[in-house]
């Protein structure tokens, strides 16, 4: 058998190059985040992800080409509780970045096609220097999960002819201090906060349904 081991003066530089390549690969920042839910039975959601031109870019993409990514579009037929959302994408050589995720929440209470209530929740990508969304910046735990939390209730209303009793869904935000607010559940994070992390939408029922 021939000894094919490399001479020391060649092997050491190659090992150094290999180590730097491995280190470089490990330092690549993720460009997605995970979205999961913790909701009462009968709840489902549809997520609509909107993108804008990335900061520092001068290109634009026509609205007809920059269509939103939609998850669980036909939520009553095909439904996935956990999804992975892209923070970046490129259309016609123009780099885009996520602007927001609109989460349409549905609470099914009957067997007819219209027997559900609906409300919304939002996730925004915020600029680190913009304090406008800072109030909705919620902490991450040790497992890199952040909660967008809300409390929901059903409100009753008669609609149509004949007058049919419908249950409307109303969900309010619970802020980082645990205080219930008069707005839909909302979270706002920087790119660095979201990349490779997990956002959990947690909804619970509040007081008993009231007419």
High-pLDDT (> 70) share of the chain, %: 81
Supply 72's token pair. Answer: 């669980």
Strands 145-159 and 198-205: parallel
CA separation for the pair 177, 136 (Å, rounded): 11
What's the pLDDT tens digit per position in 91-129?
999 999 999 999 999 999 888 787 899 999 999 999 877
Confidence of residue 66 (pLDDT cuts 50, 70, 90): very high
Report the mean per-residue pLDDT for the chain: 85
The sign of the torsion formed by the CA atoms of 21, 22, 24, 30 equals positive
Strands 186-189 and 88-91: unpaired
What's the pLDDT tens digit per position in 145-157?
999 999 999 887 6
Cis (ω within 30 of 0) for the bond into 162?
A: yes
CA separation for the pair 70, 167 (Å, rounded): 26
Read off the pLDDT of each residue in 3-17 and give the average, rounded to a whole number.
42
Q: Kindly tell me if the per-residue pLDDT of 56 is higher than 60.
A: yes
Query: Which residues are CB-contacts of 88 (< 8 A; sequence separation ≥ 6)?
Result: 31, 54, 95, 96, 97, 98
């Amino acid at each position: 058998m021939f000894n094919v081991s490399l001479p020391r003066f060649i092997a050491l530089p190659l090992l150094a190059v290999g180590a730097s390549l491995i280190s470089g690969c490990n330092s690549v920042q993720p460009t997605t985040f995970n979205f999961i839910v913790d909701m009462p039975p009968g709840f489902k959601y549809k997520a609509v992800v909107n993108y804008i031109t990335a900061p520092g870019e001068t290109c634009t993409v026509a609205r007809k080409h920059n269509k939103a990514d939609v998850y669980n579009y036909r939520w009553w037929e095909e439904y996935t509780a956990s999804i992975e959302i892209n923070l970046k994408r490129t259309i016609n050589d123009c780099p885009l970045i996520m602007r927001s995720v609109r989460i349409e929440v549905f609470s099914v209470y009957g067997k007819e096609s219209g027997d559900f209530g609906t409300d919304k929740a939002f996730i925004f990508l915020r600029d680190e220097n913009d304090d406008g969304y800072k109030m909705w910046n919620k902490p991450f735990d040790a497992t890199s999960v952040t909660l967008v939390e809300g409390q929901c209730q059903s409100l009753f209303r008669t609609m149509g002819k004949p007058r049919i009793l419908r249950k409307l869904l109303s969900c309010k935000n619970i802020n980082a201090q645990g205080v219930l607010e008069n707005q839909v559940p909302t979270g706002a994070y920087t790119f660095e906060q979201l990349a490779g992390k997990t956002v959990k939408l947690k909804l619970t029922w509040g007081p008993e349904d009231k007419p």
